[in-house]
């Protein structure tokens, strides 16, 4: 039986390899992403495809450049949060060319939920936080976590936000998400804080 067990090790399927969604090349765990604004989605790609498909005139895709800045001095009082029309305490905000303005996106067990942000409310918010007026359209976001008294805010590349969306969808249980989900969310933001530096 030990011989058969050893043979079985060689016949087991290899773990799936993530592949470039354009050319099908194998991808490492850390890889590039392209935003496809018209479809409101992100595409996992290899380095050559990231260069090729964003260098074309009238490109369908936009390259998502890595970015992570912690915003310790963000001014975000409760009335501003309410004015942006977000019913939950965990969301990200970005300029969407497809929507023609700023949208708020928040996680759910079914995936991302999106709602438009009132232009006047966003203008008032960026008047308090002028450093966010130049968020790169379709590829950068303001990510905010105010769950259970948290006070996290990051200016980051959009792929980081969608990674969080995926974690929420994968770990959500019951009506409110369940304790494992919120431990996962806490761990995600702890990693962002560690990577961005500054206060813990």
pTM, rounded to two decimals: 0.87
Task: Output b/e per residue, 69-88; b: 16+ Cβ within 10 A.
Answer: ebbeebebeeeebebbebee
Count of positions (residues) in the chain = 200
Alpha-carbon distances, residue 142 vs 114, 132, 159, 163 (angstroms): 14, 8, 12, 14
3-state secondary structure the chain: CHHHHHHHHHHCCCCCCCECCCCCCECCCCCEEEEEHHHCEEEEECHHHHHHHHCCCCCCCEECCCCEEECCCCCCCHHHHHHCCCCCCEEEEEEECCCCEEEEEECCCCCCEEEECCHHHHHHHHHHCHHHCCCCCCCEEEEEECHHHCCEEEEEEHHHHHHHHHHHHHHCECCCECHHHHHHHHHHHHHHHHHHCCCC
pLDDT (0 to 100) of residue 16: 72
- Answer yes or no: are the C-beta atoms of 124 and 92 closer than 8 Å: no
- Going from N- to C-terminal start, the domains of the chain cover 2-63, 68-196
Local confidence pLDDT in tens for the 200 residues of the chain: 455 555 555 556 656 779 999 999 999 989 999 999 999 899 999 999 998 888 766 678 999 999 999 999 999 888 888 889 888 899 999 999 999 999 999 988 988 999 999 999 999 999 999 999 999 999 999 999 999 889 999 999 999 999 999 999 999 999 889 999 999 999 999 999 999 986 66
How is residue 89 written in tokens?
Answer: 């305490």
Alpha-carbon distances, residue 82 vs 31, 94, 109 (angstroms): 36, 17, 23
CA 139 to CA 88: how far, in whole Å? 23
């Amino acid at each position: 039986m030990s011989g058969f067990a050893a043979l079985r090790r060689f016949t087991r399927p290899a773990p799936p390899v993530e592949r470039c969604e354009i050319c099908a090349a194998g991808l490492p765990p850390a890889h590039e992403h392209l935003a496809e604004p018209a479809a409101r989605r992100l595409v996992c790609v290899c380095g050559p495809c990231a260069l090729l498909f964003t260098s074309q005139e009238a490109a369908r895709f936009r390259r998502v450049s890595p970015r992570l800045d912690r915003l310790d001095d963000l001014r975000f009082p409760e009335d501003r949060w309410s004015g942006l029309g977000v019913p939950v305490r965990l969301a990200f905000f970005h300029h969407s060319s497809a929507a023609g303005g700023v949208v708020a996106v928040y996680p759910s067990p079914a995936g991302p939920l999106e709602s438009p942000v009132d232009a006047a409310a966003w203008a008032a918010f960026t008047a308090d936080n002028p450093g966010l007026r130049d968020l790169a359209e379709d590829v950068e976001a303001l990510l905010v976590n105010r769950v259970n008294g948290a006070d996290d805010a990051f200016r980051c590349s959009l792929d980081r936000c969608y990674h969080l969306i995926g974690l929420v969808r994968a770990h959500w249980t019951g009506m409110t998400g369940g304790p494992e989900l919120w431990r996962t969310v806490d761990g995600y933001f702890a990693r962002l804080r560690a990577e961005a530096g500054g206060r813990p």
